[in-house]
Amino acid sequence: MRSAHPGEDALDTILQLVLNGLAVGCIYGLVALGFVLIYKATELVNFAQGDLLMLGAFTCYMFVVWYGVGYWVALALAVALVALFGAVLDATILRRVIGQPQFSVVMLTIGLGAIFRSFASIAWGSEIYTLPTPFSARATRVAGVAVSHEYVSIIVGTVALCAVLYAFFTFTRVGLAMQAASQNQLAAYYMGIPVKLMFSLIWAISAGVAAIAGVLLAPVSLIDINLGFIGLKAFAAAVLGGFGSIPGALVGGVTIGLIELFSGAYLPQGFKDVAAYVVLLVVLAVRPQGMFGAIVRKKV
Amino acid sequence: MRFVFKTSYAQDLEIFRDDVQRNWYVALLVGLLVLPLLIPAYLVDVSLVFIYGLCGISLMVLAGYTGLVSLGHAAFLGIGAYTHVYAIHDLGLPWVVGVALACAVTAAVGVLVGLPALRMTGVYLSIATLAFALIIQEVLTRWERVTGGLKGKPVDKPVVFGIYLGGDAAFYFVCLAFLIGALWLTGNLLRAPTGRAWVAIRDSEIAAQSMGVNLAVYKTSAFAYSAALMGVAGALFAHKIGFLAPDIFTVLLSIQFLLMVVVGGLGSLHGALFGAVFVALLPVAISQARDAVPAWLSALASPLGKDAGAATFLAVDRFVKKPGLEPGLFGLILVLFILFEPLGIYGRWRKIQLYFSTFPLYKRATFRRQKSYMRSERLR
Amino acid sequence: MADPLLTVTNLETYYGPIMAIRGISFVVPERSVVTILGANGAGKSTILKTVSGVMDPQKGTVTFAGREIQGMDPDRVTRLGISHVPEGREVFPFLSVRENLMMGAFTRRDAAGVGEDLELVYSYFPVLRSRAEQRAGSLSGGEQQMLAISRALMARPRMMLLDEPSLGLSPRLVKEIFEIIARINRERGVTVLLVEQNANMALHIADYGYVLEVGRIVMEDTCARLLEKEDIKEFYLGMKESGVRGTRRWKRKKTWR
Amino acid sequence: MSLLAADGLVMDFGGLRAVDGVSFEIEPAEVFTIIGPNGAGKTTIFNLVSRIYEPTAGRLIFDGEDITRVPPHEIARRGIARTFQNIELFEHATVLQNLLLGRHAHKRSRFVEELLFLPRVRELELEHREAVERVIDFLDLQPHRDSLVVNLAYGVRKVVEMARALCTRPRLLLLDEPSSGLSVEETEDMAFWIQDIRTILGVTVLMVEHDMSLVSSVSDRVLAVNYGRPIALGTAREVQEHPDVIKAYLGG
């Protein structure tokens, strides 16, 4: 199809880039959301988040391809399993290090991530898999832009999930209690908040979100054991948005996604992978707390 | 328990606590000097321990003493390595000048990273250094004229003042000399006002500031000093591996350096060295074990039946040869350390020392962990 | 004396290798106010922390309403009806004042009662009402203290453990806070275990007092009688015979040592 | 000439005015106390003087020089030291290490000299050490010199923090609630220390305090504030008898 005006082509390209950028950005946002949830509730930075995502994607793949389970059931199963795994992880390991310096805990999650990757490579090998979904290879043309259903599923899923979680944290009793437990564990105990249960719950939710992100990402990217390295970009997204802010994670993710696609299209080769980080550094130099983060000074 | 009876304030300024401690270190040095005669086959590995020791000190200054956790230290190592190699190969400068340049350039980059990092804390700083490292890795890949890009860059053996120092033993002594030098310099800084200011920043920025510590100056100087050490380590590292490529200096290497600091024991130079020994020698131990473990297990299993031995051997052998195993093992060790010995190897070492020096009065309770409760660190 | 609500026997608690309390026994009768006096580092806060489950005792038992609670997780202890107001304003800094108060009522299900209690604490401390939507971290030290006490009240506890409620408060607020403590004890029958530096106030509202020195109880009596003792007067009330200590810097030895 | 003059200090936090036009002058070698209800802005005034906060308006003159825009780390060098309400010591360091940091404002050695630990650095370190030892003697901290701060009782920590401030050899010492959390006995000791600091060392003291017995026994002048505004200034007795102070602060 040829356009009547050359300008329209450029516009279509830009629109297409925006759409794709939004979709990629939403994935980053989802992973970032996982970081933010854990951080909000326990003030830990979970470097294993990307690897949980990888586990989620593999689990779903296993159900769909090996056992022939339907996509939606497999999705639910994968999310449930990974969420359960997150809770168990908290109950057995992470809970024991709470109260130790943040640095040690960060290192702990890095160690866990390495173990997960190692486990995945032993269990599933180093091949690359493709997850078939109901959205696969379908697209609708809207005003000259190919709207892939996969991308739509990603965007809709992400926005809905963010809204639900935001409401949960801001308006429900349990959500508030989680925030309380992160801000002052001792006082939370004094209020009768079952802090340990809260932490397991948040790990379950966050691992579940990672699994959803993994399943949504799987058709776009491919599944292999290094899928988790998307976590590095998601870090940039979370920090850009301001660690600890749920809308911040989404906005940060979308920003990174758009920057990445546009720099890939219009800048020389090599910029695609680093543009996001350059922007991150620039933003942090101006606003060290990220776009939506708040710095509260310690009272002295 | 040995108590040191002090008669002068000057005694508190010495690097060694007393003569006994100094003599132990002299003994250790003598041991290291004769080591090449004892295990000539492993000298290359021990040289790597020394180089990693430099990296450990570097990260210990920044993360352990100043409280600034960097996830991008491999980038400094890379910058040091490439600068050195570019200087001695492409520019034809003398070896010593190459090392000095590596040191100076990384220190300058350290200042550049340190400046925007001044206002950041905690996670933000770590992620910013991570971003920096990823950018540097891309630069190393793309700046082919200097770095050779993805094709890489071969590195000659070191020749210092016309003397060939590429032999295993010679290189071993070069690395040892640099390590001792770095330890001395760092020890000096840590017993001087600068070191105190660093530690103060780690413990309470606001109190440090009210005592007259200029946060900007000291955070930047910590970054610069740490980077400079990394630069020197990079120069030696280049010779150790003999070939530079951008994918050596990855985030995973940065994480290995952090692993060193944690496993060794945060907040002490001893810890940095213990960690270096651990991280540099663990792969050696793992590869030895890879060969040995299947045979042991099959020997154990063989009484069970005729084929049990052979079957076990094959199964175990296949398992240990899986490529993904080693990082997982590293991860497992890291997890176990943080769970059971958060003070690291050095912490364990101190406990053992205390046990024997107070024998038989050692109380288990001395190091028992109380229930501890986290409070938001966002209010710093 | 009424039945004991809280009984502590032979309690020993360590901070790492240091024995902070060394075999302490005491009882708190139902509906009474009991105070523990003692210098800094005597282990007063440790006693409260051990009772509320924040620290585990090495030895000894804590019995609350007929149940042994030593070593229990602190949230379960709170659910049994013990509300602990810790020393040093442990508020949730990023939650608003109102949300902090609602967290106090976390264990309760009766929305109407919670609403009533919210109004009640606002009437005790009107400043909290005017700051209801501010982040608790932005309150001044004294305001955070008021918030911490109010938050504990929101749980409608059977027993309150108060750790230095008057710390850092203006003289007027100190009076008010002690009046409030007396009121909740009188009107709602809340049992109070009070640890205070301000011995003068504590002894006037409490029924019974214990004096703690270096982890041991060295004296116990009704507050009326404690107020008459020479050592208490000199070391805890600062009442000197016509300002003796105003000029002298040596201290008389305490007679219980 | 007054040592410190605050001229029309104003401090806004978001929409809230915490300090609203406070002016006062502190004469050399006097003990000047600020009292007031909780949340009246006392600690904010402190943080303004020690330059942790940027004032919205107003000026600070210290010893004839305008310090309104001087960076916070420079304050110690000029001769102002402070303690904190909730004690900001380096908890995992010994008392001695804490006090040595107090000498940081007098650091004269350069980075390179320290790197090589030249004899000059050694001499300077010994000087610092002696200055610290004098403070240790002055405040009777000898038994605690090598103890970790975490292991010290609260009362001792208060004294250590004061000692660290004294190590900067200040001309103006800011004490934020020196008696809070102390027993009656320790508060009396604290009163003696403050008197000694004033009379023996000749250091001017500005303090915020709630314990009226301590306030009356050591203060030369007292300023009462409420809602960020001064309501009374005078001797401790005069201020305590002021009807507004009784109403807002002391209670009937």
Residue carrying the six token digits 């429900």? A172
Q: Give the pLDDT band (50/70/90) at residue A129.
A: confident
Rounded to 5 degrees, what angle do the CA atoms A260, A266, A267 make?
80
What was the pLDDT predicted at A2?
A: 44
pLDDT above 90 coverage of chain D, percent: 63
Exposure class string for B242-269: b at 16+ Cβ within 10 A, else e: eebbbebbbbebbbbbbbbbbbbbbbbb
What was the pLDDT predicted at B372?
A: 64
Give the residue on C whose Cα is nearest the Cα of B364: C17
Q: Which residue has the higher pLDDT, A124 or A2?
A: A124
Query: C139 is in which domain, residue-wise?
Result: 90-156
CATH number reported for the structural domain that contains residue A173 in this entry: 1.10.3470
Round to whole Å and give the CA distance between D252 and A191. 34
The answer to the question of residue A31 being in a domain is yes
CATH of domain D1-79+170-252: 3.40.50.300
Q: Give the pLDDT band (50/70/90) at residue B94.
A: very high
- B-chain residues within 8 Å CB-CB of D73? 209, 212-215
Give the residue on A whose Cα is nearest the Cα of C140: A299
Candidates C17, C55, C137; nearest CB to B365: C17
The average confidence (pLDDT) of chain B is 86
- A-chain residues within 8 Å CB-CB of D52? 300
What was the pLDDT predicted at B366?
A: 57
Asked whether the predicted pLDDT for residue A155 surpasses 70, the reply is yes
Q: Which backbone phi and psi does C92 adopt, to 5 degrees?
A: -90, 100
B211 touches chain D (CB under 8 A): yes
Round to whole Å and give the CA distance between A180 and C96. 11
What was the pLDDT predicted at A83?
A: 93
CATH number reported for the structural domain that contains residue C53 in this entry: 3.40.50.300
* Mean pLDDT value of segment B271-286: 89
Q: Kindly determine whether residue A93 and residue B335, on different chains, have CB atoms separated by under 8 Å.
A: yes
- A-chain residues within 8 Å CB-CB of D88? 300
* Mean pLDDT value of segment A186-201: 89
What was the pLDDT predicted at B380?
A: 40
Of B376, A22, D32, nearest in space to C93 by CA: B376
Please report, for chain D, the start and end positions of each structural domain, with discontinuous segments joined by +. 1-79+170-252, 94-169
Q: Which backbone phi and psi does D201 adopt, to 5 degrees?
A: -90, -15
What was the pLDDT predicted at A93?
A: 87
Question: What tens digit of pLDDT does each residue of B125-180 get?
Answer: 888 898 999 999 999 998 888 888 888 888 888 888 888 888 889 999 999 999 99
Of D147, D153, D151, D219, nearest in space to D186 by CA: D153
Q: Which backbone phi and psi does D109 adopt, to 5 degrees?
A: -85, 150
Asked whether the predicted pLDDT for residue B360 surpasses 80, the reply is no
Chains touching D (3+ CB pairs < 8 Å): A, B, C
Round to whole Å and give the CA distance between B21 and D225. 58
pLDDT above 90 coverage of chain B, percent: 40
Task: Write out the H or E segment, with its range, that includes residue B311.
Answer: helix B308-320
Round to whole Å and give the CA distance between D203 and D207. 12
Asked whether the predicted pLDDT for residue D9 surpasses 90, the reply is yes
Q: Give the pLDDT band (50/70/90) at residue A270.
A: confident
Q: Give the pLDDT band (50/70/90) at residue B375.
A: low
Last residue of a domain, one of C127, C156, C185: C156
Q: Which residue has the higher pLDDT, D101 or A11?
A: D101
Whether B242 contacts B155, CB under 8 Å: yes
The answer to the question of residue A6 being in a domain is no
B37 touches chain C (CB under 8 A): no
Letter for the amino acid at C89? R
Question: What tens digit of pLDDT does each residue of B330-343 get?
Answer: 888 888 888 888 77
- C-chain residues within 8 Å CB-CB of B380? none
- A-chain residues within 8 Å CB-CB of D84? 300
Q: Which of residues 24 through 53 in chain B touch D, CB cutoff 8 A? A: none
Contacts of B139 (CB under 8 A, 6+ apart): none
The answer to the question of residue A299 being in a domain is no
Contacts of C25 (CB under 8 A, 6+ apart): C8, C9, C10, C11, C60, C217
Please report, for chain B, the start and end positions of each structural domain, with discontinuous segments joined by +. 39-283
The answer to the question of residue A55 being in a domain is yes
Provide the strand spans (E) within chain B: 153-154, 159-160, 163-164, 243-244
Q: Which residue has the higher pLDDT, B51 or B252?
A: B51
Candidates B194, B211, B221; nearest CB to D105: B211
* Distance, C-alpha C98 to centroid of its chain: 23
Best CATH choice for the domain B39-283 from the list 1.10.10, 3.40.50, 1.10.3470, 1.20.1340: 1.10.3470
Query: A259 is in which domain, residue-wise?
Result: 18-286
**B108 class by beta-carbon count within 10 Å (0-12 exposed, 13-18 middle, 19+ buried):** middle
pLDDT above 70 coverage of chain C, percent: 91
Helix/strand/coil for C256: coil
Name the packing angle between helices A102-124 and B122-142 (round to 10°).
50
Whether A206 contacts A55, CB under 8 Å: no
What was the pLDDT predicted at C244?
A: 47
A107 touches chain B (CB under 8 A): yes
Residue carrying the six token digits 């990174």? A256
Residue spans of chain C under pLDDT 50: 1, 242-244, 257
For B62, which DSSP code? I
C-alpha pair distances (Å), B291 with each of A122, B307, D105: 19, 20, 60
Q: Which residue has the higher pLDDT, A224 or A5?
A: A224
Candidates A45, A113, A281; nearest CB to B131: A281
Of A83, A34, A94, nearest in space to A217 by CA: A34
Question: What tens digit of pLDDT does each residue of D34-88 get?
Answer: 999 888 888 899 999 988 888 999 999 999 999 999 999 999 999 999 999 888 8
The answer to the question of residue A295 being in a domain is no
What total number of domains does chain A contain? 1
Question: What tens digit of pLDDT does each residue of B223-245 get?
Answer: 999 999 999 999 999 999 999 99
Torsion, Cα D124 D128 D134 D140, to 10 degrees, reads -150
Asked whether the predicted pLDDT for residue A280 surpasses 70, the reply is yes
Whether D21 contacts D224, CB under 8 Å: no
- B-chain residues within 8 Å CB-CB of C15? 370
Candidates D50, D126, D128; nearest CB to B210: D50
What was the pLDDT predicted at B135?
A: 92
Under an 8 Å CB criterion, which residues of D touch C?
13, 35-39, 43, 85-86, 151, 153-155, 177, 180-188, 192, 210, 212-213, 217, 248-251
Q: Give the pLDDT band (50/70/90) at residue B203.
A: confident
| Structure tokens given for C60 | 């000894």
Question: What tens digit of pLDDT does each residue of A201-238 get?
Answer: 989 999 999 999 888 888 777 788 778 788 888 888 88
Among A21-30, B155-164, B213-222, B350-359, name the most confident range: B213-222
- C-chain residues within 8 Å CB-CB of D155? 39-41
Q: Give the pLDDT band (50/70/90) at residue A3.
A: very low
- D-chain residues within 8 Å CB-CB of C138? 13
What was the pLDDT predicted at C257?
A: 42
Q: Kindly determine whether residue C73 and residue A187, on different chains, have CB atoms separated by under 8 Å.
A: no
**D199 class by beta-carbon count within 10 Å (0-12 exposed, 13-18 middle, 19+ buried):** exposed
Round to whole Å and give the CA distance between D75 and D71. 7
Give the residue on D whose Cα is nearest the Cα of B214: D73
Between B and D, how many CB-CB pairs are < 8 A? 95
How far C115 CA lies from chain B's nearest CA (Å)? 29
| Structure tokens given for B311 | 């079957």
Candidates A114, A182, A235; nearest CB to B327: A114
What was the pLDDT predicted at B1?
A: 53
Asked whether the predicted pLDDT for residue A297 surpasses 60, the reply is no
**C208-213 vs D16-26, strand pairing mode:** unpaired
Q: Mark out the alpha helices in chain D (DSSP H runs).
A: 42-49, 72-78, 95-101, 111-116, 119-138, 154-167, 184-199, 212-218, 236-241, 243-245
C56 touches chain B (CB under 8 A): yes
How far B59 CA lies from chain C's nearest CA (Å)? 30
Question: What tens digit of pLDDT does each residue of D186-226 get?
Answer: 888 899 899 999 999 999 999 999 888 899 989 999 999 99
Provide the phi-psi class of B288: left if phi over 0, else alpha when psi is between -120 and 50, else beta: alpha
